[in-house]
Structure formats: structure tokens, C-alpha cells
Structure 1
Amino acid sequence: MRKVTAASITQAVVHSFDGAADPRFRHIVERLTHHLHAFAREVSLTPEEWQAGIDFLYRAGRISDEARNEFILTSDVLGLSSLVDLLASGSGATERSALGPFHADGSPLLEVGGDLKRDNDGEPMLVRGRVVDAAGLPVPRAQLDFWQAAVNGKYWQQDPAQDPHNLRCRMITGDDGAYAFTTVRPAPYTVPYDGPVGDLLRAGGRHAWRPAHFHFIVSATGCRALTTEVFFADDPYIDSDAIFGVRESLLVDTRLSTDAALAQRHRLPLPFHSVEFDFRLSR
């Protein structure tokens, strides 16, 4: 490679991966190399700017831990996470949206109709709906993996005062595909703003706010798993989500209910608010 030049280096790097056994890996690395090199040429990237980019990645690694992934956050605020979700959304299925950096395995099981609000501050509400397939038929024994931020805008990983199982659960639907639980309405919050991603947003004149939302991973035998979010249509940040996760089809309206029997069943005050959302899975 002693004769590598600015004109030939891209192909030299691409050919260095010719021995890769996995053709998909080889294709992805080849295209990534082409686009990275094309970017450097297009903007006439200087050594100082390259160093600033490397420093950003170094700082992202330093600040990441089990409770925070600055690399996912970088992907989020640049819209890459959302683009991948949009490309992966199946025809006829509920649209995908961000996983985010605060999902945790091992959430406790909660029976259908169970209570997640417990002693949390905030407005209590009923969340319910069904899991159906692309034809609208109920999906029996579907699993919902749910998590949300508290009324202070923080997930349990960010707030030592919260129990590690606070405001998260797994739920298995019955044969009718129905799910229901009580919780509190989450608040809008800012994505972590104290690291390199915060510097990126400030440099771009952007805010760090996300509209209030619920997270779900919905899965069932014979269906494609769905990772998505559900948003409140009246949230002030619904049209300026810092990570571009909002979809028109994922908006819900809160309804004020005076159904005394329903309130008694779920131990809710009258009147109470509820939201309904049906998840559609593709097979």
C-alpha cells in the first residue's frame, strides 16, 4: 500500500475486507467506508475537525455506563435511530419508534388490569387496548414490555429515590389480546444534556426536550416483535421531539371518564383519565 493516495485510499480500504466471510458484513463495511470517505471529501475535513470528532466519540465512551448509553443518544439526536425504525416498520403493523437508552431486561410480571402507579406522584390514569394482527384479529398470549419516566421526567436509572422496578413491567395478554394497567401520566423531559451530545445540541441551537411518552416492546409467537412509543397529542413538544421519535399514528388523546364501575375496578378516583391504543403486529 506504499502508493496509496487521496484518490485510491477508499478502494484500498474496501479491498482490505475482501476476506470477510459474511457477505452482509462485507457489504455494510464497504458502503460505510465509501460514505465516510465521501463525507470527508465533500466537507474538506481538516485534521483539527477530525480530532474534534474523535474526541466526541472518546467522551461518549467515557460518560457511558450501564445506566446511560451516549452512543445511542448520539444516534437518536441525529435521527439515525428513527430512520432505522422507519425503514424497519412492517406494512400493516404499528409503526416503530425509539428504544431509547433506558430499557432494562427483567421487568416484573404484572397481571392484566394491574397497578403500576403505586405511590408515585402524578396524575393517575388507565392505559388499555389490544394486541391484534394485520387482519385485526386478537393475538393471544402476547407480551408487552413496558417502561416510562416518572412525573419528575426521570427513569429509575437516573433517580436514586426510585425503586429499580418502578414504572416498568411485563404483561401477558389473554386470548382476547387485551391489556390494561393503571399508571401515572409521564412528564416531558430533556435527554441527558451534560455530555458530548448536549454540546452537539447547544452548538446546533437545538433544545433537548422529548414529549411525554410510554415505551413498549410487544412480542408474540409467530409475529415480528415491535419496539415503539405512544405519545400524548396535547404535549407541547409533540412537533419538536429532540430524537425525532413521534409518528402521527402513535398519538393518543386522553379521555375523561366518569365510569364508576371502571374506577372501582382499577381503584381510580372519579373522574379519571384514560388512554387507549391497539398494537398491530405483522407475522
Structure 2
Amino acid sequence: MRNIDEFSITQAVLGSLEGCKDARLKEVLAALVRHLHDFAREVRLTEAELMQGIDFLTAVGQKCDDKRQEFVLLSDTLGLSMLTVALNHARPAGATQATVFGPFHVEDAPRMEQGDDIAGGAPGEPLDVDVCVCALDGTPIPDAEVDVWQADEQGLYDVQIPALGQQRRARAVMRTDAEGRLRFRSIVPTAYPIPTDGPVGRMLVATGRHPWRPAHVHFMVKAPGYQTLITHVFRDADPYLDSDVVFGVRDSLVARFDKKEVQGARRLDFRFVMAPRES
């Protein structure tokens, strides 16, 4: 591997991977090397720009902790997250579409029951939610696990509010009844900006992009024999539906949050159609 130039170095690096016994690892790393080297040659990457990129990625890592995942934000805002979803979660016609997971899910969400108020004191206009989980043929799926989480009316998730500590609000894990239905109360979601106090925020400013996500509620639905569904339900007429900073909106996931005439709360009705695991 002597006398390597700007073209022969790619093959030299690829050759160094020949001893890799993990076929998938070798495939992924080899493709990464080829594309990285082609990228550097295409833009004539300078040493200063390389160091700037390394500093940026270092800052992304330093911004990560148990409540903040800056690398997820980076992946989301570059469209990589949604590209991966599209590659890995193709579903048959009629099944509810998947979208990005996002960085604010937690594993210790409280377990709640039918009819509970999951807001837990989070500020926002009351919202009554009535969802149905069913198979492609419309058969209800009882005892499906439904994990729900959302931001409050100020655009903040509970994990973004230091004063809350380990208190969880506007999130819960529940199960559908014998008819595949789940009813609970929460709050109306509002549009919010992703965190911009880190390197990803600086990237958005530098590229002239806004940081806003349209109003939505996260859902993760699990049932034996079906693919796990990770998705959002977006509020209709939101001004950011066509410019979501993480590219996650799908027409089929946009729903009306209607105002009730009597109780005053808004209402969301939605049907989640699960794809069988084998598909």
C-alpha cells in the first residue's frame, strides 16, 4: 500500500476489509468507504472542511445524554431516518403507514387504563381520543399494546423539562379492549420546533431551514402476529404539514381534531390498521 494517490486509496481501503468475516459488516463498510471517498473527490474536500466536519460530529455526540439524542435529530433532519423507514417498513395497501420514531420516547412510561387522562397535568386544550386497532380485513385486535407520547401546548416533552425530574406526563402505555378500541383523554398537540440549542440547530440556521414539526401525537402499536407500527397522527390544517423538518408527514396520517359541541374538548378518532408480520 505504498505510493497511494487520491484514486488508488479507495481500493487500498477496500482491500484492507478482505479479512472481515462478518459479510454484512463488510458490505456496509465497503459501501460507506466508496461513497465517502467519491463524496470527498466530488466536492474537492479540504483539510479544513474535514476538521470542521469532525468537530461538528464531535459536538453532536457531546450533546447526547439520557434525555437528548442529538444524533437522532441529525438523522431526522437529513432525511436519513425517514429513508430508512421507507426502506424497511413497506406495508401492504390499506395498512397504516409508519413514520419516524423521534428522540423523545422513553421506556418507563406509566401503564394506564381505558378512559384515563394521560396528560398528567401537562398544559393544553383537552382532547378525547378514541382509536381502533384492527387487521387488514377489519377484524379488531384485542389486547394490543398502544404506547402514546406527545409534547404539551408549549411544544415540550416531559423529558425536556428539568423541573419534572422523573415525572412522566402526556405519555402512557395502554391496551385495547375486546373490540380493539382504546379511549383516553390527553391534550391537543401543537406545532413545535425541534431543539435548536445544539449543532443540529446551527446546521439548520446555516442552511436556511426552519426547525418546526407539525402538531402530532406519537403512537407505537404492538400485537402478536403483526408488525410493530411506529407512527404519528398529525393535526389537519397545521401550517407545517408540507415542510416538516424531519420529512415525516404522510397524507394518510393527517386527521381532524374536531371540537365537541357539548363538553368543549376536542376529539380525535383514528383507526390503526396493522400489517401481518409475514408481510
If the TM-score is normalised by the length of the shorter chain, which range does it land in?
over 0.9
Matching residue's letter, 2:126: P
Shift of 1:172: 1.1
Residue 277 of structure 1, aligned match among 225, 246, 270: 270
| More off after superposition, 86-95 vs 41-50 | 86-95
Shift of 1:96: 1.1
Residue 132 of structure 2, aligned match among 130, 133, 136: 130
Q: 1:214 to 1:41 in 2, by over 3 A?
A: same
Aligned to 2:92: 91
Runs of 4+ aligned residues of structure 1 deviating over 6 Å after TM superposition are: none
Q: Any conservation in 1 of the 2:189–2:235 contact (CA below 8 Å)? A: no
Look up the SS of the partner of 2:227 in the other structure.
Answer: coil
Matching residue's letter, 1:97: T
Q: 1:145 to 1:33 in 2, by over 3 A?
A: same
Structure 2: stretches of 5+ with no match in the other structure? none
Aligned to 2:151: 149
Q: Any conservation in 1 of the 2:119–2:171 contact (CA below 8 Å)? A: no
Look up the SS of the partner of 2:162 in the other structure.
Answer: coil
- Aligned-partner Cα distance in 2 for 1:204–1:44: 20
The superposition leaves residues 126-147 of structure 1 with CA deviations (integer Å, 9 ceiling, x where unpaired) of: 1111111222221222111111
Alignment coverage as a number of residue pairs = 273
- Aligned-partner Cα distance in 1 for 2:122–2:40: 50
Structure 1: stretches of 5+ with no match in the other structure? 261-269
Question: Does residue 46 of structure 2 align to residue 46 of structure 1?
Answer: yes
Matching residue's letter, 2:106: A
Shift of 1:18: 2.2
How much identity, in percent, do the aligned residues show?
Answer: 43
- Aligned-partner Cα distance in 1 for 2:121–2:221: 26
- Aligned-partner Cα distance in 2 for 1:97–1:254: 20
Look up the SS of the partner of 1:115 in the other structure.
Answer: coil
- Aligned-partner Cα distance in 1 for 2:37–2:92: 34
Shift of 1:274: 0.4
Shift of 1:225: 0.7
Look up the SS of the partner of 1:277 in the other structure.
Answer: strand
- Aligned-partner Cα distance in 1 for 2:36–2:9: 12
Q: 1:22 to 1:140 in 2, by over 3 A?
A: farther
Shift of 1:118: 4.0
- Aligned-partner Cα distance in 1 for 2:251–2:35: 31
Residue 103 of structure 1, aligned match among 102, 105, 108: 105
Q: Any conservation in 2 of the 1:103–1:147 contact (CA below 8 Å)? A: yes
- Aligned-partner Cα distance in 1 for 2:19–2:178: 50
Aligned to 2:116: 114
Question: Does residue 241 of structure 2 align to residue 248 of structure 1?
Answer: no
- Aligned-partner Cα distance in 1 for 2:3–2:218: 53
Aligned to 2:221: 218
Shift of 1:48: 1.0
The two structures have a TM-score, normalised by structure 1, of: 0.92
Q: Any conservation in 2 of the 1:238–1:246 contact (CA below 8 Å)? A: yes
Look up the SS of the partner of 1:278 in the other structure.
Answer: strand
Q: Any conservation in 2 of the 1:88–1:96 contact (CA below 8 Å)? A: no
Matching residue's letter, 1:172: R
- Aligned-partner Cα distance in 1 for 2:167–2:37: 44
- Aligned-partner Cα distance in 1 for 2:267–2:194: 26
The two structures have a TM-score, normalised by structure 2, of: 0.93
